[in-house]
Amino acid sequence: MLIFAAILAIFVYGMIAAMLGTILPELSERFHLTPTQNGTIALVQALGLIIASLSVGPLLDTQGDKIGLVLGLSAIAAALFLLPRSPGFSTILLLLFLLGMGGGIVVTGANALANSVSGEHSAIALNLVNLFFGLGGLTTPFIAANIFKKNWVRLCYTVASLTVAALLVQAFSKMPPPAGNAKFLLADVGPILGRPLLFMLGFFLFLYITCEVGVWNWLPRHLIAQGIPESRALNILSLGFALGLLIGRVGVSPILAHVSPIDVTLGASIAMAVTTYLMLQTNKPSMAFGLVFVAGLSMAPVFPTTLAITGAAFPRMTGTALGFVITCGWVGLAVSSWIIGAIAGGDPKRLKKALLLFPASAVLMVALNLAIRSALK
């Protein structure tokens, strides 16, 4: 039941992770938003993710995972129910910040819950649980393009209703007691933050989230700027990238039974550098679909496997350590969103140049992986 609760929460997070990229073209058209304003929206959502995941770790360790999951899902539902009623840009910023807050709490709480009940098989369990992130990410743009016909208002209400259903499951699930108390936190947070390994793992996710969530947020706009129809662009995001993430997380589980997590993340980083570069070089829908799918396969194991490495390296105060590392990832999203928006400026066609940030980040991941490997030894 606890794994099911974690799966539902991750599924909802997958749906909202794809939400901004899915609705951004329609929001831009309705409110006449520029790429710079799009970057500001993504930045504000990232700030919500940062603040939430940084602060929720101690909450999970002192109060338990349930309170975090209930709080996060409540924030997501509220933001999505109110977003269709936004009068303008300022309100959109506020609600995307709230959506980011809810997402940051949920992703940290769900992964902490899955890690706590999976024991020595945490890398495999976290990849299997997070494959439902890919399923959620596939669902949002797919139903937007093929069922709701780009009706973003119905999409928001539908995802909000599913979030409420997931919230009820968390509320009625019996979850493990808190891992510690306030005195325990004060005694142990300092030594955890004093380990360079934690910062290296955090910077690794900083670079990874720049790539993955950057694809969710910016790929449809990039493809549209290359002349690909919007509905086709959304299907490339869902049936290409999201499906690649989903299949990759299923496929990596047996590999992790024989290959160390640090080796898996090294191979994935190399593949990311190649595939993210190639997917930006084509304006043909079929070619873009194939390359985006392979990019999703490449990225699939990185996030959950990095969290498994973190959980194994920090068996005490795991929620705090996971929250810190995930927070670093959201900082990467905030910084990259600002950089991409600044480079693109007011011209959507300049997105191609701005999105070269993705392969550059993946190359840095390869070098950082080698440093993490040394620290683990």
Q: Residue 151 belongs to what H/E stretch? A: none
C-alpha distance from residue 213 to each of 21, 141, 175, 187, 206 (Å): 9, 14, 29, 35, 11
Which residue has better confidence, 351 or 65? 351
pLDDT, mean of residues 114-138? 76
Which residue has better confidence, 123 or 159? 159
d(CA 267, CA 270): 5
Q: How many CB atoms lie within 10 A of CB 157?
A: 15
What per-residue confidence (pLDDT) applies to 295?
Answer: 95
Q: How many CB atoms lie within 10 A of CB 250?
A: 14
Q: What is the pTM of this model?
A: 0.74
- CA angle at 218 for the pair 212 and 223, rounded to the nearest 5°: 115
What per-residue confidence (pLDDT) applies to 260?
Answer: 92
d(CA 81, CA 154): 10
Q: How many CB atoms lie within 10 A of CB 353?
A: 13
d(CA 145, CA 195): 46
Does position 133 have pLDDT exceeding 50, yes or no? yes
d(CA 235, CA 2): 32
C-alpha distance from residue 222 to each of 36, 294, 349 (Å): 14, 18, 7
In contact, 100 and 44? CB cutoff 8 Å: yes
What per-residue confidence (pLDDT) applies to 182?
Answer: 46
C-alpha distance from residue 53 to each of 129, 201, 214, 326, 339 (Å): 19, 15, 18, 7, 22
d(CA 31, CA 87): 9
Does position 123 have pLDDT exceeding 90, yes or no? no
Does position 240 have pLDDT exceeding 80, yes or no? yes
Average pLDDT, the chain: 85
Cα Rg of the chain, angstroms? 19
In contact, 117 and 60? CB cutoff 8 Å: no
Which residue has better confidence, 242 or 347? 242
Residues with Cβ within 8 Å of residue 297, at least 6 apart in sequence: 244, 245, 247, 248, 251, 271
Which residue carries 């909802």 as its tokens? 12
State the CATH architecture for 2-376. Up-down Bundle (1.20)
pLDDT digits (tens, 9 = 90+) for 257-285: 889 999 999 999 999 999 999 999 988 99
pLDDT, mean of residues 335-360? 83
Which residue carries 């190639």 as its tokens? 278
Strand boundaries in 37-152, DSSP class E:
none
Q: What is the DSSP letter of 316?
A: S
What per-residue confidence (pLDDT) applies to 75?
Answer: 94
Does position 193 have pLDDT exceeding 70, yes or no? no
d(CA 292, CA 56): 33
Phi, psi of 300 (to 5 degrees): -45, -50
In contact, 175 and 116? CB cutoff 8 Å: no
pLDDT digits (tens, 9 = 90+) for 145-188: 788 876 888 899 999 999 999 999 888 888 766 655 444 455 55
Instruction: Give the residue among 74, 7, 79 at the shortest CA–CA distance from 41.
Output: 79
Residues with Cβ within 8 Å of residue 149, at least 6 apart in sequence: 231
**Cα torsion 22, 25, 26, 31: sign:** positive
- Flag the least confident range among 160-169, 241-250, 322-331, 337-346: 337-346
In contact, 135 and 9? CB cutoff 8 Å: no
d(CA 362, CA 369): 10
In contact, 212 and 17? CB cutoff 8 Å: no
Each domain of the chain, given as residue ranges in start order, spans: 2-376
